[in-house]
Amino acid sequence: MSMTGAQLVIEALKSEKVDTIFGYPGGAVIPIFDVLFSEKSMHVVLTRHEQGAVHAADGYARSTGKTGVVLVTSGPGATNTITGLATANFDSVPIVCITGQVPTHMIGNDAFQEADTVGISRPVTKHNYLVTDIKDLGRVLKEAFYIASTGRPGPVLVDIPKDIQLHKTDTTFPQRVQIRGYNPLTKGHSGQIKKAAELLKKSKKPLFYVGGGLHISNSIGIFRKIVEKTNVPTISSLMGIGALPSTHPRYLGMLGMHGTFAANMGVMSSDLLFAIGTRFDDRATGDLSKFAKGAKIIHIDIDPASISRNVSVDIPIVGDAKLILEELYPILEKPSIDSWIEETGQWKKNHPLSPETSGDGISPPKVIKRISEVFPDAIITTEVGQNQMWAALFYDFKKPRSLLTSGGLGTMGYGFPAAIGAQIANRDRTVIDIAGDGSIQMNIQELATAVQEELPVIVAILNNGYLGMVRQWQELFNEKRYSSTCLARRPSCPPQCKEPGDYCPPYIPDFVKLAEAYNAAGFRVVNEEDIIPVLKEAKKIRNRPVVIEFLVSREANVWPMVPAGAGNNEMLLGEEDLI
């Protein structure tokens, strides 16, 4: 039974139970798209940009745990995937990205649409392949899915020259994968697990510190049982959000640069930081020389390279968080920490997050809170900037895998295509991209994709007319020199404008008209009391995307804030802390 390389690719995808491909065609992948033309088991989502395709596959993957699949052409198609791959690589998202390549005999000749795709993508993928012999194709695809989805997941790129797609072959793909250099450790060291349990039992001020690894390993269930059993207060990184419901009494919130008072005080006062599936990212830890000085540290992670990199760890446990937590659960004992629970509870009570912001216009946190009321079980994606922090801080997350955000790379333009991918994988849930007016314009073209796919994705744009997060830094640390952060500015504006005012030119684009131009629904909300009615209106629309533009207070800031280089307990809590 002989088939072409292109047919083999599709057979390999079928055997991996792939039902959706995010792609964009071109000369070097026509043979594979040709096979897809008559393939009924797979839906091809044609995005409007290859970056959009990778982010959509990423949203599909993060919201389900399945591997996202991307198919694009050589040269510019491949180079357009790089930001998407880097985003997925940083946040450990399983993706297989198949790129077409010029025929093998032309590689190296600067052929039309040739790029050294494996060379360019090497630092931003978990692994990559250039297939130069059709005999390797089946094995390589099998390995690609295996590597992408096991251990610490990540994107794997497979570059397939056009002649390989057209060659006939009798070889298929192997049933099993054997890679001698890749044996991800899954079970944790039992001795270490016992030590961790003992340390926790003796601790007076323990804190769970959870990250994205908890979602990736599907261990939210067992983790919640552990919190019920031990009653230990919990803080989360941006990627860990949703590990506990945001309203859980033991949940102190997100730590870090824009973390809550309780989480940041907690981490600085704890005597035992029990970290699970987190990298100790610098946005979370602040100045390392001041970080969690009084705490012993236990760290569970699947990636040995994440352990003792930024902070030195007392009890490292390498392996799959779920298996380790399941082994830990029966031997855990409840520590006596009543006064610690009291102390952390006081921090929470006395310094709650404030939804009030300064200036005219709607307060952005209030928009998020209303979204949370009207859509209590949504999948939230975010762009990057203030919108991202407000979404993380003010939405009440309940379920795992419900916040999809670019944490490591901080990619503006991630949220909307990711929402498209998540909506395709979760047809019955509401998917909302909480966006900034700057970020949304980085992949706004995907409105066409969402319209074409009849997806009711909601895009909630917090329009402050600024690249708000950068403007916030300029306000706080550069004496309001709003250099290149005003998105309305014209040459006729006052030079060195330091404040928005009546003289400001109209904002571009008109997002409502833009939505309508794409045949999506568009709303504009100017007054606070219109937030809920418009959200309810949006809820009724189930067959096309909805863009809602909220005209928010232009100079609202995200609080609290730990200035760069400070310790986590040196927070600015609001405008009143600025001298």
Partner 1 sequence: MKHVISMLVENHQGVLSRISGLFSGRGYNLESITAGVTRDPTISRITLVCYGDDVVFEQIKKQLNRLIDVIKIADLTEKPAIHRELALIKVKAEPKIRGEIFQVADVFRAKVLDVGTDSMVLELTGSSEKIDDFTNILQPYNVTELARSGLISMERAKKTAKKTKGGKQ
Question: Taking CA 202 as the corner, what is the angle to CA 199 and CA 203, rounded to the nearest 5 degrees?
Answer: 85
Q: Which of Mg ion, partner 1, ligand TPP, none is residue 411 near (CB under 5 to 8 Å by kind)?
A: ligand TPP
Burial 171-207 (b: 16+ CB within 10 A, else e): ebbeeeeeeeeeeeebebbeebbeebbebbeebebbb
Q: Is residue 473 a contact point for partner 1 (CB under 8 A)? A: no
CB of 105 to partner 1, least distance (A): 16
Annotation marks residue 112 as catalytic: yes
Of 121-129, 273-281, 390-398, 571-579, the window that binds partner 1 (rule: CB under 8 A) is 121-129
Name the residue nearer to partner 1 (CB basis): 118 or 196: 118
Alpha helices by DSSP H, listed for 232-363, are: 261-269, 282-285, 321-328, 338-350
Q: Which stretch binds partner 1 (CB under 8 A): 119-127, 278-286, 386-394, 494-502?
A: 119-127
Residues 296 and 199: beta-carbon distance below 8 Å: yes
124-to-289, 307, 378 alpha-carbon distances in Å? 29, 20, 30
The contact set with ligand TPP (CB under 6 A) reads: 383-387, 410-412, 436-439, 462, 464, 466-470
Q: How far apart are CA 205 and CA 67, in angstroms?
A: 39
- Rank residues 123 and 245 by Cβ distance to partner 1 and give the closer one: 123
Residue of 8, 29, 97, 118 interacting with partner 1 (CB under 8 A): 118
Give the angle subtended at the CA of 467 by the CAs of 463 and 473, to the nearest 5°: 125
Look at residue 383 and give the partner it binds from partner 1, ligand TPP, Mg ion, none, a contact being a CB closer than 5 to 8 Å depending on partner kind: ligand TPP
Phi and psi based region of residue 304 (left: phi greater than 0; alpha: psi -120 to 50; beta: remaining)? alpha
Question: What type of residue is 579?
Answer: I
Q: Is 206 left (phi over 0), alpha (psi -120 to 50) or beta?
A: beta
Nearer to Mg ion, 211 or 361 (CB): 361
Which residue out of 106, 113, 296, 539 is catalytically annotated?
113
**Taking a C-beta distance cutoff of 8 angstroms, is the pair 257, 286 a contact?**
yes
Of the two residues 123 and 565, which places its CB atom closer to partner 1 in the complex? 123
**Rounded CA separation 33/23 (Å):** 9
Whether 162 sits among the annotated catalytic residues: the reply is: yes
Residue 469 is among the residues annotated as catalytic for this protein = yes
Nearer to ligand TPP, 4 or 485 (CB): 485
Q: CB under 5 to 8 A by kind: which of partner 1, ligand TPP, Mg ion, none does 67 bind?
A: none
Closest distance to partner 1 from the beta carbon of 450 (Å): 36
* Spatial distance between the Cα atoms of 189 and 379, rounded to a whole number of angstroms: 35
Backbone phi and psi for residue 506, each to the nearest 5 degrees, phi listed first: -60, 150
User: At closest approach, how far in Å is the CB of 485 from ligand TPP?
Assistant: 7
Of the candidates 66, 126, 142, 162, the residue annotated as catalytic is 162
Q: Which does 49 bind (CB under 5 to 8 A by kind): Mg ion, partner 1, ligand TPP, none?
A: none
Give the chain's end-to-end CA distance (angstroms, integer). 77
Residue 98 CB, nearest distance to ligand TPP (Å)? 25
CB of 294 to ligand TPP, least distance (A): 33
What is the rounded distance in angstroms from the CA atom of residue 575 to the CA atom of residue 359?
11
Q: Side-chain half-sphere of 542: how many Cα atoms within 13 Å? A: 4
Rounded to a whole number of angstroms, the minimum distance from the CB of residue 89 to partner 1 is 12
Among 180, 293, 349, 540, binds partner 1 (CB under 8 A): 180
Nearest residue to 450 (alpha-carbon basis) of 473, 483, 418, 476: 418
| Separation of alpha carbons 413 and 444, rounded Å | 8
Q: Which residue has the tokens 């290149």?
A: 484
Looking at the Cβ atoms of 279 and 370, the one nearer to partner 1 is: 279
Binding partner of residue 118 among partner 1, ligand TPP, Mg ion, none, CB cut-off 5 to 8 Å per kind: partner 1
Kindly state the smallest distance separating residue 100's Cβ from partner 1, in Å. Answer: 19
50 carries an active-site annotation: yes
* Amino acid at position 48, single letter: R
Q: At closest approach, how far in Å is the CB of 500 from ligand TPP?
A: 13
Point out which span in 56-64, 288-296, 304-312, 517-525 binds partner 1 (CB under 8 A): 304-312
The site for partner 1 (CB under 8 A) is made up of: 118-119, 122-123, 126-127, 130, 147, 179-182, 303-305, 308-309
> Active-site residue numbers?
50, 112-113, 162, 469
